[in-house]
Structure 1
Amino acid sequence: MKQVAMVTGGTRGIGLETAKKFLVKGYQVAIASIDSEDVIKQAMDELTALGDAVFISCNVADAEQCRNAVSKAVEHFGTIDVLAHVAGVVGQRVPLIDADLADLSNTIQINLMGTIQICQSVGQVMVKNRTGVIINVGSICGAMANTESIGYHASKGGVRMATQAMARELSPYGIRVLSVAPGWVKTAMIDKPIEEIGSKLHMKGRIINPQEIADAIYLLSLPEASAINGSTVMVDDGYASFKGVDGYSA
């Protein structure tokens, strides 16, 4: 029987590459996301060409939508073995004193409460099964400060601690919960000036490709990673290791 992965934010960027990875590895995949019709169609055309994938509309900031999406995924595939929770936003890149508090609140609602809400719904399924793996996508901003917004830092720091607390609660049921903390990743959230700055802060001299994060998520989902639980794995090409010093200079 094929295993089932649920990927939030699976219609673009890291989420899309993660969905592709699980499909290539033989999983059935439920894509929970919100996006424009054109983006959804293009993504699902790519994904269904690789395997058994279904799209389920879900704004993770809404708890009821999370519950409904999980119910639909289970109805369609029978279970959920792995949750890769990728959905998130950066918010406005402005200093705190100039920030729109509504934007900060929205960022925290999506990134932090969205994580808690989708993990609660999937966790209820996994507790019944007494098995499962939940992998949340955090950020280096959950462990160290850089130029991103206060709301983004607060939300990703919350994801890190929520992951640890979830692991403690869910491990007795055979469920692992962990997170990955990417450095700067080449997605639509990153513009050219930021990419140029970020390239100097990674050991390869470039920012990270979404496929590299997807690969890490898949590896951490495997039984061979069974001793990794409650941890945040830095998938940052060394960014945090040398604290933002130019890592590419010889």
Structure 2
Amino acid sequence: MDRIVIVTGGTRGIGYETAKKYLNENDKVIIASIDDEKTVEKVVQELSQIGEVTFYKCNVACKEDCEDLVKETILKYGRIDVLAHVAGIVGKRDAFTEIDLEDTLNVIKVNLMGTINIGHYVSQEMVKQKSGVIVNVGSICGFMANSEAIGYHASKGGVKMVTQAMARELSPYGIRVVSVAPGWVKTGMIDKPIEEMGSKLHMKGRIIEPKEIADAIYLMTLKEASAINGSTVMVDDGYSSFKGIDGYQI
């Protein structure tokens, strides 16, 4: 499609699969993360076999990093058509009475302020061009409480409302803002006990693959999704539909 797409958290998990999806659809992709040089080199080499990919180091919790990422993208391509904001962290899974408040604050900085930071600078450019789509990755934890820690719930609940507020302000400029809310996803954040528990809470009897979330993100940025704005699409394989009752029953 020849669109210019920024994918935060693009070197692993959902972000990697999202970058791969857009490259396979002939878009040009800028991946951003704070991964180490060895990981970045490997990922860029892999993705370059598919299409045109560029890496920029960016900690979304740092507004200066986000501003620089957008500036560099505009210098290189002159526009930004899609922002797939995937970057996020879980933090320590501790009980509320035992949480490390600094860790909680860090989760909120990355997940919530990161969404605001990158969205702020990207939307400035999209307003100028009067077009664009922003997809924020939220979570079922923005809608219902589960075993994740309080900081993660607070941050993802914030992402839901930030998405709605951004959509309201930016829609007059031809910009859509949506979010997707995954259930449990098979990434490096998930250990074996959590995967086993989570598998029972999804209708397929397994947790979700990162590619499935990437496909949903891509769908939200197509012109066929033009009437979806300010909404959160539940990409949770039914988790929130039956509230955690074992869905995989024959």
Q: TM (normalized to structure 2)?
A: 0.99
User: How far 1:3 sits from its partner (Å)?
Assistant: 1.1
Q: Is 1:115 the equivalent of 2:115?
A: yes
Say whether residues 1:57 and 2:82 are aligned partners.
no
Shift, 1:45, TM fit? 1.0
Q: Which residue of 1 aligns with 2:236?
A: 236
Question: Which whole-Å CA distance do the structure 1 matches of 2:149 and 2:248 have between them?
Answer: 26
Is the partner of 1:6 in helix, strand or coil?
Answer: strand
SS at match of 2:30: strand
Q: Secondary structure at the match of 1:56?
A: strand
Q: Distance in 1 between matches of 2:42 and 2:181?
A: 27
Task: Find out whether 1:247 has 2:247 as its counterpart.
Answer: yes
Mapped to 1, the partners of 2:222 and 2:31 lie a distance apart of 20
Query: 2-side partners of 1:197 and 1:174: how far apart?
Result: 42
Q: Which runs of 4+ in 1 moved over 4 A?
A: none
Q: Does residue 198 in structure 1 map to residue 201 in structure 2?
A: no
How far apart are 1:183 and its partner, in Å?
A: 0.3
Q: What does 1:43-192 align with in structure 2 at a 5 Å threshold?
A: 43-192=43-192
Q: Residues of 1 paired with 2:7 and 2:137: CA distance?
A: 11
**Alpha-carbon separation, structure 2, partners of 1:144 and 1:150:** 12
How many correspondences in the alignment?
250
SS at match of 1:124: helix
- Aligned residue number for residue 17 of structure 2: 17
Q: CA deviation at 1:37?
A: 1.4
Rounded Cα–Cα distance in structure 1 between residues aligned with 2:241 and 2:82: 29
SS at match of 1:176: strand
How far apart, CA to CA, are the structure 2 residues paired with 1:76 and 1:184?
36
Q: Percent identity?
A: 66
Q: Partners of 2:156 and 2:103 in 1: how far apart?
A: 15
Separation in 2 of the partners of 1:41 and 1:248?
40
Over aligned residue pairs, what C-alpha RMSD do you find?
0.7
Name the SS for the 1:178 alignment partner: strand
Task: After superposition, give the CA deviation of every residue in 1:156-195 in whole Å (9 maximum; x if it has no partner).
Answer: 0000000000000000000000000000000000000000
Cα distance in structure 2, aligned partners of 1:76 and 1:194: 42
Mapped partners of 2:6, 2:54: distance in 1: 10
Paired residues for 1:216-235 under 5 Å: 216-235=216-235
Q: Which runs of 5+ in 2 are unaligned?
A: none
1:2 Cα deviation after fit: 2.0
Write the deviation string for residues 89-147 of structure 1: whole angstroms up to 9, x where unpaired: 00000001000000000000000000000000000000000000000000000000000
Secondary structure in structure 1 of the residue aligned to 2:155: helix
Equivalent residues of 1:89, 1:111 under 8 A apart: yes
> Which SS does the other structure have where 1:233 is aligned?
strand
Offset at residue 77 of structure 1 (A): 1.8
For residue 39 of structure 1, what is the aligned residue in structure 2? 39
Structure 1, unaligned stretches of length 5 or more?
none
Q: Give the Cα–Cα distance (whole angstroms) in 1 for the partners of residues 77 and 181 of structure 2.
A: 29
Distance 1:195 1:46 in 2: 27
Query: Shift of residue 39 of structure 1?
Result: 1.2
**Structure 1 length as normaliser, TM-score?**
0.99
The 8 Å contact of residues 28 and 77 in structure 1, kept in 2 or not, is answered as: no
**3-state DSSP class of the match of 1:181?**
strand
- One-letter identity of the residue aligned with 2:143: A
CA separation in 2, counterparts of 1:228 and 1:167? 10
Query: In the TM superposition, what is the alpha-carbon distance from 1:76 to its structure 2 partner?
Result: 1.4
Q: Shift of residue 26 of structure 1? A: 0.6
Shift of 1:79: 1.0
